[in-house]
Chain A
Amino acid sequence: MTSHGRTHGALAAGIALAAGAIALALKQQNRRRHRDHPADDAPGFTARRDFGRYEVVGRSVTIARPRTELFAFWRDFSNLAQFMENLIEVSPAGTDGHSVWTIRGPAGKSVQVETRIAREVDGALIAWRSVEGSDIDTEGRVTFEDAPGQRGTRVGLIIAYVPPMGEAGRAAAKLFRREPEVQARHDLKRFKMLMETGEIATSARRKDAARAAQMENA
């Protein structure tokens, strides 16, 4: 793997982690929708168009657990490293909802991104944004909605970010499967596994093999 791939992988992963909604991008998205996209009921990120400078990815997953339980688990950011494969830790910074995300980087190095909570609705939504001057310009939102009947909760993750190395970086990342969309999907599925089964599936026959597979993925 090239260092470009790895660097972008780490950054992208950070974004995926820092995932959430998007003030600017959503505004752009709404403007575009009114301007040239006939309204339908599908999530904006599934539209066949781009979002300008921002890359927008979104994923949802249905988890057969109560909404409040999932929200509470996610809201404690120190839990996130259990299912986000490139996240080393999230630690609080100050008292105003700022957090520092430490993300696995290339050659054993790590990358840090500082975020603040932009909006929070108890049991339903957590949105966050990278602080001014951050290495990565990103916003993210995770939402929790009751799914129909006994299906549990629909968890939605939307991430907007400015690709750190532009188009080439994105292409390289895609090649190495480290783009945020893949990362977001994988992380959400691991979240689902952890919540529904209490563990994260592996086909490794031995613990050391499971660890090795994890490091290789990271």
Chain B
Amino acid sequence: MRALTWHGTKDVRVETVDDPEIVNPRDAIIKVSSTAICGSDLHLYDGVIPGMMAGDILGHEFMGEVVETGPRSTLQKGQRVVVPFTISCGGCFHCRIEQYSACENSNPVEKQDASATLYGHPMAGLFGYSHMTGGYSGGQAEYVRVPFSDVGPIVVPDHLEDEKVLFLSDIFPTGWMAAENAEIQPDDTVAVWGCGPVGLFAVQAALAMGAARVIAIDHYPHRLELAHKLGAETINFRETHVREALLEMTGGIGVDAAIDAVGMEAHGFAIDNMIDVVKQKVGIGADRASVFKQALLAVRPGGRLSVPGVYGGMTDKFPLGALMEKSITVRAGQTHVQRYTDRLLAMIEEGVIDTTFLISHTLPLEEGPRGYRCFRDEQNTWTKVVLKPGMEAGQ
């Protein structure tokens, strides 16, 4: 089959590799119809996530048709499914309490040691990501082996086209959980850092949960415009002092909740961020955490900070005092996708949430490398790239 593989920093290729097959009883094989490039794929592209190996197949936002099932899969051939990016067994303690992204059994034993050492506990398995999260082959390919296929995949009705449901795999539930983690109350003002796909879904989710105002922060005019269309007020951090603006826009109180939908590769001109950029470049591994830090200072005392943005390592110059003295609640984490899928699928069907507005480009899988390059370098206009294995070049 053809698949998009990682070979190093800014080096992804489409190659012919072995087809997947059923390995474990609960597996299914999915023939991919649509797959998207995620902002977190850009962290892999930029080489800032440890534990990648040359030849790894990327992609954790994908959907398609069930073409093969193991003896204990509950799926049927021919069903259309969207596959959550988190792999969850359904049987462990964390899955049973719906903390699916903390699944204890999906990351192969021999892959658990690295994250257990780094984080104190092993991470769950994820598709198309680091070997710290299992090294599972991802969905930017013609076929994918999906483990625990009786737990993860969401069967979708035929009348909903791919573009409407694909984002149930990650960014829609991720934006939703980000807003849920912000514990939004009526009359709240919520600030969202980052108007990428997750940030834009978080804007929609925060408003759907009853926030009085959402203020979206970015520096790309087109992305700010998208946020504005969804009902957010905007701040362009290249033009405006963000903290001062947030304080003034809230009558001196500060925002009630903050959402960091940026993560470890934050842009920005704060001195601490510039130091972090240098450290990341020379490989001493500090996360660029300028958004996290700025959000802690901007949020009102007693407020909440929700972190869907990806971080992987350490940071320094961290305003720990602000966290404690202002009684801030911080909630973070990979998304417990399976917790939200039924509810969110219903919202898509009812037309409550628009999921298609994001897609700026649809390319054949073969043009995946160009998709990565442009999604990274032309962020203003390339807001979301969907790859189609079945699509002819030049279509």
Contacts and interface: CB of A to CB of B under 8 A. Distances in A.
Interface of A: 62, 64, 150-152, 177, 182, 186, 189-190, 192-193, 196-207, 210, 213, 217
Given A205-B18, A205-B137, A206-B20, A197 B93 contact: no
B201 interface: no
Contact of A201 (B18, B25, B90, B134): B134
B20 A151 contact: no
Interface stretch (B33-41, B109-117, B217-225, B230-238): B109-117
Contacts of B23: 202, 204-207, 210
B26 A206 contact: no
Interface residues of B, number: 33
Specify the main secondary structure of chain B where it touches its partner: loop
B96 A207 contact: no
A197 B26 contact: yes
10 contacts: A64-B93, A186-B109, A189-B109, A192-B92, A192-B105, A193-B109, A201-B24, A203-B111, A207-B23, A213-B110
Contacts of B113: 177, 182
Given A64-B92, A203-B136, A197 B148 contact: yes
Contact of B93 (A151, A182, A201, A203): A151
A196 B108 contact: no
Interface in B85-123: 89-93, 96, 104-113
Given A189-B112, A197-B148, A206 B89 contact: no
B96 A64 contact: yes
A196 B111 contact: no
Contact of A203 (B90, B96, B104, B134): B134
Interface string B7-31: 0000000000011110111100000
A193 B125 contact: no
A196 B25 contact: no
Given A196-B89, A196-B105, A202-B108, 16 more contacts: A152-B93, A177-B113, A189-B109, A196-B92, A197-B89, A197-B92, A197-B105, A198-B25, A199-B72, A200-B24, A201-B89, A203-B125, A203-B135, A205-B137, A206-B18, A206-B23
Given A189-B112, A192-B104, A205-B18, A199 B134 contact: no
B145 interface: yes
B147 A201 contact: yes
A195 to B, nearest CB: 9
Contact of A197 (B91, B107, B111): B91
Contacts of A202: 23-24, 108
Nearest to A193: B105
Contact of B26 (A150, A199, A203): A199
